[in-house]
């Protein structure tokens, strides 16, 4: 698994846990839905930390909580 896949999977996990749509997250964090979709569907494989922070704010978690998922501790060397 690479970093992009871990970010995408974590974002999908959090959206699923909260039963939240991309549109709802976009409204909550003031990030365009297209930006979120680009991350989820692979068009944007390197989202910036500012974008990830905004998404975390919309999900009401910290960056530490986002990156604290087990998948990030098992990343392959790049």
Sorted by where each starts, the structural domains of the chain and their CATH numbers stand as: 3-73 (1.10.260.40)
pLDDT single digits (tens) 18-39: 999 999 999 999 999 999 999 9
Q: Please, is 39 exposed, middle or buried when counting C-beta atoms within 10 Å of its C-beta (0-12, 13-18, 19+)?
A: buried
Percent of residues, the chain, with pLDDT higher than 70 = 99
Q: What is the DSSP letter of 35?
A: H
Quick one: pLDDT at residue 24? 97
Span 3-27, average pLDDT: 96
Helices and strands (H, E) in the chain, number of each type: 6, 0
- Give which of 10, 2, 3 is closest to 69, Cα–Cα: 10
């Amino acid at each position: 698994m690479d970093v992009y896949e871990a970010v995408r999977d974590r974002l999908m996990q959090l959206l699923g846990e909260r039963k939240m749509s991309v549109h709802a997250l976009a409204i909550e964090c003031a990030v365009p839905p297209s930006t979120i979709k680009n991350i989820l569907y692979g068009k944007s494989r390197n989202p910036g930390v500012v974008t990830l922070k905004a998404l975390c704010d919309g999900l009401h978690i910290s960056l530490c909580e986002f990156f604290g998922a087990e998948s990030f501790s098992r990343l392959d060397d790049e």
